[in-house]
Structure 1
């Protein structure tokens, strides 16, 4: 889980960009806020190019959490509802009060947004690094079968993400799993999600990683 973080300082807030974590969703450069996010210039992020609220709104749409902000006089925005979405032909989008662990069980990161590899090809596991594009990964983000029948009026609180060595992602906490088009959702307290790309019951793990010889040793 290597990190290369660049910081862009402004008068009201600082913006950080974690290069390896970017999945190229382009929410920033396609936001219309070219005075702040313009990848044809250097530096490509200009935090003072717009009102702080506008900059924050764009960064909050970054699915991977590669972009973050820190206001000089206020803390980061409050945690979101714990939500997992298999993005079409792409990564697992995770939002909430996330505690990402490494394979030894230690907390590697605490954040509110992640995109996690589910094609099995990322060179920066467990993060998505856009390898699904070159690999031709195909899945439309529907929900397979799972024993998730809980319901929470308040789906918040700590969400623990555990990448299992050579296996799936185990996620624990009050959680919701949404179909990509938002027409279906499930609630539960624990779920095992495929990250080898081979499950026949995506986004859930069905044990296919064993037969596929999936390895997570580049984490």
Structure 2
């Protein structure tokens, strides 16, 4: 197998990519895994949409939904690879000798990683509404696939939320306090709250259809 730095989600097999993920190198890591989970959610969204029939205005909406899901699958894989690159920069910064150069490198790498995860999280949040629509209007025989897609989407949002929070906190290694970080990076700080809300929304959507997806749970 090629070295893990040569592994990409777009061009490697699942076996190659997961083997690279299992290595103790951190790239790919959890953030890239969140990107793959987003791609899985998008793929399942596309599949369910493809099995769904609609009439009139709903047909136009369904086609737009399908196009978004197909585009998201591709962009999610790119976001996973972007995160892997950010992880390599992150690791390189911490390997530098202590000093101002190291502090600056940590700051740059931490912000780059946080922004990468925030972008992934925003894309995942945007996908919630399409899955909600399919839960209500999609092929009813595939409601279990919708719930699995929600599960993958939740993993992506949770991963993004945790990574943004962690990367921001890492700025303390460059000499900043949490209050200074919040003042200097208000958009990224707000992203954590937005992703928390996204997780709550996904949980609510799944709870609303669980009686259809897993009816035996009531027995």
Instruction: State the TM-score bracket (shorter-chain normalisation).
Output: under 0.3
> TM-score with structure 2 length normalisation?
0.25
Query: Normalization by structure 1: what TM-score?
Result: 0.25
More helix by share: 2
Per chain length, whose mean CA-contact separation is higher, i.e. which structure has more relative contact order (CA < 8 Å, sep 6+)? Answer: 2
| Higher strand residue share | 1
